[in-house]
Amino acid sequence: MTTSVNGGAPPGPEAEPFPLDELVRGMRMATGGEDVVTGATPRDVVWTLNKTTLYRYRPVAERRHGVPVLFVYALINKPYILDLRPGNSFIHHLLEEGYDVFLLDWGTPGWEDRETSLDELVAEHLPKAVARMRRAGAGEEYSLFGYCMGATFAAMHAALRPEGLRNLVTLTGPIDFEHSGVYRLWTDPAYMDPWALARGFGNVPADVIDMGNKMLKPVTNFVGSQMVMWERLAAGRDMTSWLAMNKWVNDGVPFPGVAFAQWIESFYQRNELVKGRIRIGGRRVDLGRIDASLLNIAGAKDHIVPPAMARPLNDLVASADNEYREIPGGHVGLLAGSGARRALWPTVVDWLDTRSD
């Protein structure tokens, strides 16, 4: 056997060089230069108010359920995570299952929206969207599906205006902010004055919010996602799913200044929701007034809204039909990851099917 100069075994064959065209493509992806179709399910505008828009999705199958579903998402990202791409769209899946589907999109605030408050959004825009949904022929009863911060908004709406709400589905919804983990430290009044941030920024920039979220798992978010991209590219795998998710993650929107300050102070710093002290539109929010059927879902690996933060909702409502499910997955992967179609989607559909006729 031939040996090397130092007496060891000879080096193995040289690794195949990374193809130049794939290297160029990877650099383009890493810098956001390659786009992919997202939010493609056809829909129509039902109503608008300032930047808020109510959409109704066009049916793709015969409607088999009389109770429509209204989606409410957070203020800090765009809601097309619910309709990420063809083949991975929870909204399209519900349409295939025969549901009438609506989405409330808060839009992208401009400088003129810096004083928009949670009172305006939750106590005015959301109830008006429900009224417009009814005027569009959706019927008097409806199901409300809130995701992330949208689940908190949905729960507050259910407490303030329970009439006509048959089903409430909350997905990774922050309720008890005592269990908010690292966020509780970062938002401690000793370190953060949310009103000073609101005055300084007007609208809190999307990049500021995004950096905070990513710093919860810096290695995963700043290194891991890029490693996954290069590994998939080198293996010749389809990049559509990575591109769609990466696009959404980096497609944040500013947080209206006053709403941001309210969210941090009243929820993270004072935990007023579970204490029954939060007031929206001049009315106290009593979660004990919620009597709709409730399905509350948390992600077992969610580091943004840990299960302990979401779980208390079930103990605070008056709903006789009251379920809590904890499903393997993280905050986003739970809804749009590779296992969502096998875990979350059938869980929600099976639950709604027996309560939507």
Both tokens of residue 152?
């908190």
Query: Of the residues 93, 148, 157, 179, which is catalytic?
Result: 148
SS3 136: helix
pLDDT in tens, 17-48: 556 565 555 556 665 656 888 999 999 999 99
Q: DSSP states of 142-184 as a string?
A: EEEEEETHHHHHHHHHHHH--TTEEEEEEES----GGG-THHH
302 is catalytic: yes
pLDDT in tens, 168-206: 999 999 999 999 989 999 999 999 999 999 999 999 999
Region 129-141 average pLDDT: 97
Q: DSSP states of 293-353 as a string?
A: EEEEEEETT-SSS-HHHHTTHHHH---SSEEEEEESS-TTHHHHSTTTTTTHHHHHHHHHH
The pLDDT value given to residue 316: 98
148 is catalytic: yes
Domains defined along the chain, listed by start? 37-224+256-353 (3.40.50.1820)
Residue 319 pLDDT exceeds 90: yes
The pLDDT value given to residue 91: 98
Region 235-250 average pLDDT: 82
pLDDT in tens, 320-341: 999 999 999 999 999 999 899 9
128 compared with 3, residue with greater pLDDT: 128
Query: Of the residues 92, 125, 179, 331, which is catalytic?
Result: 331
331 is catalytic: yes
71 compared with 2, residue with greater pLDDT: 71
Residue from 126, 107, 8, 115 nearest 50 by CA:
107
The pLDDT value given to residue 212: 75
